[in-house]
Amino acid sequence: MSENPAYPVGLRLSGRRVVVIGGGQVAQRRLPALIAAGADITLISSSATPSVEAMADGGEIRWERRRYQDGDLAGAWYALIATDDPVANTAASAEAEARRVWCVRSDDAEAATAWTPATGRSDGVTVAVLTGRDPRRSAAVRDAVIEGLRDGTLAAPRHRPAAGRATTPGAASTAGMAGSGSAEAALPGVALVGGGPGDPDLITVRGRRLLAAADVVIADRLGPRDLLDELPPHVEVIDAAKIPYGRFMAQEAINQALIEHAKAGKAVVRLKGGDPFVFGRGMEEAEALAEAGIPCTVVPGISSSISVPGAAGIPVTHRGVAHEFTVVSGHVAPDDPRSLVDWAALARLRGTLVLLMAVEKIGAIAAALVAHGRPADTPVAIVQEGTMAAQRRVDATLGTVGERAKAEGVRPPAVIVIGNVVAVGPARLT
């Protein structure tokens, strides 16, 4: 006759008494989830690992520094028994049985009345897997499900209520920006997603998940374009490409498109290159959405100002070489009255300068830096199409970079790094 399977259930332990007996590695692993569940936790143990002790010092648990005694489980809803003393474990387990307290035993699963599943969380979903006596298989199944949810390969569409309607009693559609993990992400609205420097593998897990759940994607030219091919056929993709010094979609038109589609009850992703708030006009779009009462979630992205130099073997900081780095937009020449950059101050800095959108103006920028005192032999590297298959690196100095860029036919997108860090380390990393 086959063994009866365990009955799965989610315990709501907030404010309820939980007793953990034993302060070793098992407790160290299990306590964070119990703390996150809001349990009222008492630890009974004569010793504890440094991490468990820190939980007690921080007020997250109460620690009674002694061995288990009969009666310790009085009033408990749940118990975790994890000492290295079989006699104490057996006695505590017997008390749990007598008091009808669900009890997990780390040393003898067969003697326990409850088992701890392999658990993972993704975007408000808790996945718990039990496979009887095979914990490694449980963990493998959990990992596969969580990874699928995170990268969008496992479809788990939400039920989306009409715009403005609550998803749960007491919940409401809220305008303004929402942080990571907020309830607004579940409502029709807009997610400003930083797609990273270009390589589709460098988008964040959350960004990729939101893309998989989108109805409409408004994409920049510098976003990870390969990801658009993975979208389901029903997803509408709107090209918001802003080609430098060429045709472009006016920012006002982008804002209006975001608002119109969100008001139609669709989940909208604004897919941007790099990070939405690093020369990405993300705040302009967030402000327009807030004025229109549209929920907005901001998903940070890996900025090309750091990642592209790194992909080319250049650290923007390095011990003994640079203690700071400054990211500057180079789309406006130093002598242009519209420029907001203090080039004289930048020239006096000893650290790294990272220029974005500066290919067209690099000759004028280099001349201004030299004129204000930056040595002409300062190393410079131009990294074109960083993190992509066509990535290439062109090295020069401040005195030669203008002509070198023209001779090499450098074109956007490119990140320009100025400073001694350019000469640090290998020329290329894989």
Rounded to 5°, angle at Cα 253 from 249 and 258: 115
| 154: pLDDT strictly greater than 50 | yes
- Confidence (pLDDT) at 250: 78
Q: Domain ends where: 241, 273, 302?
A: 302
Contact 391, 378 (CB under 8 A): no
Q: Is residue 129 part of a domain?
A: yes
Q: Residues 90-95: contacts with CB within 8 Å, 24+ apart?
A: 92/21, 92/68, 95/70, 95/71
Q: What is the pLDDT of residues 135-152, one digit of tens each?
A: 788 888 888 888 887 766
CA distances, 342 to each of 246, 338, 374 (Å): 27, 12, 14
Please report, for the domain that includes residue 269, its CATH number. 3.40.1010.10
Query: Which amino acid, one-letter code, is at 370?
Result: V
User: Is 110 found in the same domain as 33?
Assistant: yes
Q: What is the pLDDT of residues 202-243, one digit of tens each?
A: 999 889 889 888 999 998 877 787 788 778 778 888 877 643
The domain containing residue 53 runs over which residues? 17-116
Q: Domain ends where: 302, 326, 346?
A: 302
The yes-or-no answer on residue 242 being catalytic is: yes
Rg of the chain over all Cα atoms, to the nearest angstrom? 28
For residue 307, the surrounding DSSP H or E stretch is helix 304-311
CA distances, 292 to each of 179, 296, 406 (Å): 19, 11, 45
User: Is 311 found in the same domain as 274?
Assistant: no
Q: CA 9 to CA 389: how far, in whole Å?
A: 48
Q: What average pLDDT does range 178-205 have in this prediction?
A: 72
Beta strand extents in 179-334 (DSSP E only)? 189-194, 216-219, 236-239, 267-272, 295-299, 325-329
Q: Is residue 161 part of a domain?
A: no
Mean predicted lDDT score pLDDT of the chain: 86
Q: Is residue 157 part of a domain?
A: no
Instruction: Look at 188 and 379; give whichever has higher pLDDT.
Output: 379
- Confidence (pLDDT) at 152: 66
- Confidence (pLDDT) at 259: 94
User: Is 339 found in the same domain as 238?
Assistant: no
User: Is 343 found in the same domain as 287?
Assistant: no
Q: Is residue 274 part of a domain?
A: yes
User: Is 310 found in the same domain as 297?
Assistant: no
User: Is 320 found in the same domain as 244?
Assistant: no
Which one of 220, 266, 272, 361 is the catalytic residue? 220
Q: What is the pLDDT of residues 4-22, one digit of tens each?
A: 788 888 899 999 999 999 9
- Confidence (pLDDT) at 111: 86
Q: Domain ends where: 273, 302, 331?
A: 302
- Confidence (pLDDT) at 227: 83
Q: Which of 117-131, 177-191, 374-388 has the highest mean pLDDT?
A: 374-388
Q: Is residue 348 part of a domain?
A: yes
Residue 362's pLDDT band (boundaries 50, 70, 90)? very high
Contact 173, 164 (CB under 8 A): yes
Query: Which amino acid, one-letter code, is at 321?
Result: V
User: Is 132 found in the same domain as 192?
Assistant: no
Q: What is the pLDDT of residues 277-313, one digit of tens each?
A: 999 899 999 999 999 999 999 999 999 999 999 999 9
Q: Is residue 286 part of a domain?
A: yes
Local structure of residue 274 (DSSP, 8 states) = B
User: Is 291 found in the same domain as 242?
Assistant: yes
Report the number of distinct structural domains present in the chain.
4
User: Is 34 found in the same domain as 110?
Assistant: yes
CA distances, 357 to each of 138, 263, 330 (Å): 49, 33, 5
Which one of 143, 242, 263, 395 is the catalytic residue? 242
User: Is 135 found in the same domain as 86?
Assistant: no
